[in-house]
């Protein structure tokens, strides 16, 4: 007996890092808008809770493991037959002097934050190009735009994602496949406790993961190619880009 693919009749979004935080909020937001979410994450219990809330399907696994992206792409396509949008959100952080960063953590961060989304994109984009439609949404960071003290590797991975998005847009122009980049500032999630250092600055103030999720949905459905949240952070981006020496003096003064 033939079985209809998961999410039949609805656009399918594969959301990584969907166990909590931005990923979970994005899955909820997209489900509310009529998308069928496929949920990737490393915490099966949390992932199941998000699946129950959204009506989606949990696909637990570790994208930092060898073969992790390949297995996730295989499972997603086996379930739904297609992926209309890849929301590459999974990532980790660490704060401390680069010279004291554990090498295994450095490798893990580069793999999860950068290599895994590139591999997933490589696996899923060809079918989107063949269909003439689809969207890749990458989660960057303000750290990848201006740099942050004692977050050198994290900032480097997010900067690389931003340039990947910029370069890929040129290649995909005219194919019907869109590339989007969301650039959060500080988001009120467990990210900071997991990295081992609480957030201690007065500014920028944390925004809710739901606000980022709303932005992801807007990027999926609109014409904008990228969005910084909150919007006022575009000012330090511009200062950094146009007067980098001034920005560095200000960054040194205000940490």
129 three-state secondary structure: helix
Beta strands in the chain (DSSP E): 12-15, 36-41, 57-60, 85-88, 134-139, 177-184, 226-229
Q: What pLDDT score was predicted for residue 101?
A: 97
Q: What pLDDT score was predicted for residue 253?
A: 59
pLDDT of 1 higher than 50: no
Least confident of 59-63, 118-122, 130-134, 144-148: 144-148
Q: Are 38 and 14 in contact (CB under 8 A)?
A: yes
Measuring CA to CA, which residue among 149, 226, 123 is closest to residue 181?
Answer: 226
Q: What pLDDT score was predicted for residue 191?
A: 64
Least confident of 4-18, 122-136, 236-250: 236-250
The torsion angles phi and psi of 32, rounded to 5 degrees, stand at -65, -30
Q: What pLDDT score was predicted for residue 117?
A: 98
**Model confidence pLDDT, tens digit, residues 167-204:** 999 999 999 999 999 999 988 766 665 666 666 666 66
The residue with greater pLDDT, 1 or 194, is: 194
pLDDT of 40 higher than 50: yes
95 is written with which tokens? 């704060």
- Stretch 89-94: mean pLDDT, rounded? 95
What pTM value is reported for the model? Answer: 0.90
Instruction: Tell me how far apart the 2 most distant CA atoms of the chain are, in Å.
Output: 68
- Reported as a pLDDT band with limits 50, 70 and 90, residue 4 is confident
Beta strands in 67-176 (DSSP E): 85-88, 134-139
Q: CA-CA distance, 246 to 56, in Å (whole number)? A: 48
CA distances from 192 to 81, 189, 207, 249 (A): 36, 7, 13, 26
Percent of the chain with pLDDT over 90: 76
The residue with greater pLDDT, 240 or 70, is: 70
CA distances from 50 to 60, 89, 207 (A): 12, 15, 21
The residue with greater pLDDT, 2 or 140, is: 140
Q: What pLDDT score was predicted for residue 203?
A: 65
243 three-state secondary structure: coil
- Stretch 203-208: mean pLDDT, rounded? 80
For the chain, list the domains and their CATH numbers.
12-254 (3.40.50.720)
**Does the annotation count 154 as an active-site position?**
yes
User: Which residues are within 8 A (CB) of 249 and not within 5 positions of it... i.e. 6 or more apart?
Assistant: none
Q: Are 151 and 93 in contact (CB under 8 A)?
A: yes
For the chain, the average pLDDT equals 91
Q: What pLDDT score was predicted for residue 65?
A: 96
Q: What pLDDT score was predicted for residue 243?
A: 75
Q: What pLDDT score was predicted for residue 124?
A: 98
């Amino acid at each position: 007996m033939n079985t209809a693919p998961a999410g039949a009749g609805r656009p399918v979004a594969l959301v990584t890092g969907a166990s909590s935080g931005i990923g979970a909020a994005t899955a909820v937001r997209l489900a509310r808008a009529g998308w069928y979410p496929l949920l990737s994450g490393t915490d099966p219990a949390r992932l199941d809770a998000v699946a129950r809330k959204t009506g989606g399907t949990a696909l637990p696994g570790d994208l930092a493991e060898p073969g992790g992206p390949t297995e996730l792409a295989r499972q997603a396509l086996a379930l739904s037959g297609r992926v209309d949008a890849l929301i590459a959100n999974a990532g980790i952080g660490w704060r401390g002097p680069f010279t004291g960063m554990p090498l295994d953590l450095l490798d893990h961060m580069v793999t999860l934050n950068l290599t895994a989304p590139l591999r997933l994109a490589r696996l899923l984009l060809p079918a989107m190009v063949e269909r003439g439609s689809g969207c890749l949404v990458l989660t960057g960071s303000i750290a990848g735009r201006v740099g942050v003290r004692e977050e050198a590797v994290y900032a480097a991975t997010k900067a690389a994602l931003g340039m990947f998005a910029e370069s890929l847009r040129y290649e995909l122009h005219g194919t019907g496949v869109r590339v989007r980049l969301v650039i959060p500032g500080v988001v009120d999630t467990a990210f900071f406790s997991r990295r081992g250092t609480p957030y201690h600055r007065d500014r920028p103030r944390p925004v809710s993961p739901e606000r980022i999720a709303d932005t992801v949905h807007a990027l999926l459905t609109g014409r904008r190619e990228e969005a910084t949240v909150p919007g006022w952070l575009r000012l330090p981006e511009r200062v950094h880009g146009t007067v980098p020496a001034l920005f560095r003096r200000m960054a040194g003064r205000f940490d």
